[in-house]
């Protein structure tokens, strides 16, 4: 089903609701990831990474704004309010992304796993029947390409470096593995998203493609493959989150809450 | 009112990228469409990067400049993503102007995604290296020229 605009989406029973769920997943993944990236500013291990993480953070937050604007067209409030004035129970990011940055190895491994997933999701959505989404992701994909190159290089270098780097990278992978499976969930809307042709593939296929792409990097990094990731107990796509997200939101929205009506 | 289209394009040539003041939005290939209906002008602009923080400034500059063109009473700036802006849209003139500002124009996207190092904008030498895929703005990377022995900036191929 090809749907050209928000106005058209509103005319099809159930379409707008399913689309809204997916857009929140996309926007919230990017916003939370972008915020975590920004936390490295001034603290990254070298000046080049400070530059890289500020650029990547800017891209991710910019992408979240693109999705928030599509939500606004569909009748939600404006992007600032969607970003800063929405409780944790209304957030749809994967739980693994709300976890604190940990050490550099955890940061790199999580970002690499997320970037591979995001590329696969974007590739799938480039044929979405919802045309405004297909157009945006085609552009976003070209930018995300550079994030993935960067993270893959770090992942394989640290993993194969030996000594403390390898030890920390293996630990990061172990820690991430219990929750990384949450990325693939499409929440309660999955069957309707597929039915309407908003996304052409479901959670199982997203995960299969992800494993196909991540496994060669494990070999290169000389990190043993931990097996297919399990489905975690709490699902961020259903609004289930941890106190880590509460703390992240407290910090991210601190300035906004001083005076929500202010024009910055 | 179609006779002021030339004047409008010329005016747009004067609106520069806020982050690279030698190159116009036209030469960056950012202007997708210009529509004139009576005294009302609509400009569709393709952002170079989705999260480009200069978009509000670009909107303001375009409005301000076009409102000075005779016969224009209202200007609407729309940011659109279809077709996507790609670095191939930069004109020949734009490539020259980038280089004159010390930013190497992008190498055409090749088969090898890592082969993005452009010739040095100062000495023209090939075979430089990537210092950082990310640079001072989202659309630039930092390279190193082995002949000049200095870093230089380049536009990312996207």
CA distance A232 to chain B (A): 32
Say if B150 falls within a structural domain: yes
Interface touch B51/A48, C-beta < 8 Å: no
Say if B90 falls within a structural domain: no
Q: Is residue B64 domain-shared with residue B108, that is, in the same domain?
A: no
Interface touch A48/B86, C-beta < 8 Å: no
Say if B95 falls within a structural domain: no
Label residue B2 by pLDDT band (50, 70, 90).
Answer: low
CATH at B16: 3.30.300.130
Say if B26 falls within a structural domain: yes
Say if B40 falls within a structural domain: yes
The answer to whether residue B152 scores a pLDDT higher than 50 is: yes
Let me know: does A158 contact A170? Beta carbons within 8 Å: no
* The pair of three-digit structure tokens given for residue B44, joined into one six-digit string: 């569709």
- Blockwise average pLDDT, block size 10, chain A, 264 residues: 96 97 98 98 95 97 98 97 97 98 98 98 98 97 95 97 98 98 98 98 98 98 97 97 98 94 82
Burial class (CB in 10 A: 0-12, 13-18, 19+), A28: buried
Label residue B1 by pLDDT band (50, 70, 90).
Answer: very low
Mean pLDDT of B31-53: 95
Q: How many domains does chain B have?
A: 2
The secondary structure element, H or E, covering residue B24 is strand B20-24
| Residues of A engaging B, defined by a Cβ cutoff of 8 Å | 48, 51-52, 54-56, 58-63, 65-66, 135-136, 138-140, 142-143, 145-146, 149-150
Q: Is residue B122 domain-shared with residue B71, that is, in the same domain?
A: no
Residue A217 is predicted with a pLDDT of: 98
The answer to whether residue B109 scores a pLDDT higher than 90 is: no
The answer to whether residue B27 scores a pLDDT higher than 60 is: yes
Say if B98 falls within a structural domain: no
Interface test with B, best of A142, A154, A156, A263 (most B CBs within 10 A): A142
Q: What is the ipTM of this complex?
A: 0.89
Let me know: does B150 contact B144? Beta carbons within 8 Å: yes
Say if B85 falls within a structural domain: no
Residue B3 is predicted with a pLDDT of: 67
Label residue B110 by pLDDT band (50, 70, 90).
Answer: low
Q: Is residue B68 domain-shared with residue B11, that is, in the same domain?
A: yes
Q: Is residue B70 domain-shared with residue B20, that is, in the same domain?
A: yes
Q: Does B131 touch chain A (CB under 8 A)?
A: yes
Mean pLDDT of B51-73: 95
Which residues of chain B does A140 touch, with a Cβ-Cβ cutoff of 8 Å?
50
Q: Is residue B75 domain-shared with residue B114, that is, in the same domain?
A: no
Domain span at B120? 104-155
Mean pLDDT of B57-82: 96
Q: Is residue B111 domain-shared with residue B61, that is, in the same domain?
A: no
The answer to whether residue B113 scores a pLDDT higher than 90 is: no
Q: Is residue B75 domain-shared with residue B17, that is, in the same domain?
A: yes
Q: Is residue B74 domain-shared with residue B114, that is, in the same domain?
A: no
Q: Is B41 left (phi over 0), alpha (psi -120 to 50) or beta?
A: beta
SS3 A156: helix
Q: Is residue B71 domain-shared with residue B110, that is, in the same domain?
A: no
Q: Is residue B110 domain-shared with residue B63, that is, in the same domain?
A: no
Interface test with A, best of B32, B49, B51 (most A CBs within 10 A): B51
Q: Is residue B9 domain-shared with residue B72, that is, in the same domain?
A: yes
Q: Is residue B22 domain-shared with residue B62, that is, in the same domain?
A: yes
Distance between CA atoms of A82 and A94, rounded to whole angstroms?
17
CB pairs < 8 Å spanning A and B: 68
Mean pLDDT of B51-77: 96
Residue A262 is predicted with a pLDDT of: 87
Interface test with A, best of B134, B135, B144 (most A CBs within 10 A): B134
Candidate from B81, B113, B142 with C-beta closest to A139: B81
SS3 B17: strand
Q: Are strands B20-24 and B74-79 parallel, antiparallel or unpaired?
A: unpaired
Distance between CA atoms of A83 and A60, rounded to whole angstroms?
13
B33, B64, B79 — which closes off a domain?
A: B79
| CA-based nearest residue to A127, from A194, A66, A68 | A194
Which residues of chain B does A150 touch, with a Cβ-Cβ cutoff of 8 Å?
133-134
Interface touch A52/B132, C-beta < 8 Å: yes
Helix, strand counts (H, E) of chain B: 3, 9
Mean pLDDT of B95-105: 94
Which residues of chain B does A73 touch, with a Cβ-Cβ cutoff of 8 Å?
none
Residue B108 is predicted with a pLDDT of: 74
SS3 B142: strand
Interface touch A136/B50, C-beta < 8 Å: yes
Say if B97 falls within a structural domain: no
Q: What are phi and psi of A94, to 5 degrees?
A: -65, 140
């Amino acid at each position: 089903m090809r749907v050209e605009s928000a106005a058209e989406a509103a005319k099809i029973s159930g379409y707008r609701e399913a689309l809204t769920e997916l857009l929140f997943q996309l926007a919230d993944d990017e916003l939370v990831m972008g915020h975590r990236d920004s936390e490295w500013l001034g603290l990254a291990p070298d000046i080049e990474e400070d530059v890289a993480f500020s650029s990547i953070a800017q891209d991710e937050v910019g992408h979240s704004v693109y999705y928030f604007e599509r939500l606004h067209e569909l009748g939600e409030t404006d992007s600032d309010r969607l970003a800063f004035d929405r409780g944790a129970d209304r957030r749809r990011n994967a739980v693994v992304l709300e976890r604190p940055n940990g050490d550099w190895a955890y940061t790199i491994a999580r970002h690499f796993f997320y970037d591979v997933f995001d590329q696969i999701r974007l590739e799938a959505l480039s044929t979405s029947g919802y045309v405004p989404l297909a157009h945006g992701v085609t552009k976003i994909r070209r930018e995300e390409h550079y994030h993935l190159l960067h993270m893959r290089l770090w992942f394989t270098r640290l993993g194969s470096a030996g000594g403390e780097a390898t030890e920390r990278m293996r630990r990061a992978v172990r820690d991430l593995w219990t929750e990384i499976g949450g990325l693939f969930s499409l929440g309660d809307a999955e069957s309707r998203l597929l039915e309407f042709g908003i996304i052409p593939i479901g959670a199982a296929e997203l995960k299969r493609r992800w494993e196909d792409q991540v496994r060669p990097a494990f070999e290169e990094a000389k990190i043993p493959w931990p097996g297919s990731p399990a489905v975690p107990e709490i699902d961020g796509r259903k609004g289930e989150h941890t106190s880590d997200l509460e703390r992240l939101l407290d910090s991210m929205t601190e300035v906004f809450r001083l005076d929500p009506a202010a024009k910055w | 009112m179609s006779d002021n289209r030339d004047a409008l394009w010329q005016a747009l040539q004067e609106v520069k990228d806020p982050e690279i003041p030698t190159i116009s939005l036209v030469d960056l290939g950012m202007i997708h469409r210009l529509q004139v209906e009576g005294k009302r002008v609509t400009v569709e602009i393709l952002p170079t990067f989705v999260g480009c923080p200069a978009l509000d400034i670009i909107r303001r500059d375009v409005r301000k400049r076009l409102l000075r063109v005779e016969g224009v009473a209202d200007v609407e700036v729309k940011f659109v993503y279809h077709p996507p802006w790609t670095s191939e849209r930069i004109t020949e003139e734009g490539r020259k102007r980038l280089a004159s500002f010390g930013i190497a124009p992008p190498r055409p996207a090749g088969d090898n995604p890592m082969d993005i190092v452009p010739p040095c904008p100062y000495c023209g030498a090939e075979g430089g290296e990537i210092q950082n895929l990310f640079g001072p703005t989202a659309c630039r990377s930092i390279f190193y020229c082995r002949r000049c022995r200095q870093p230089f900036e380049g536009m990312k191929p996207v």
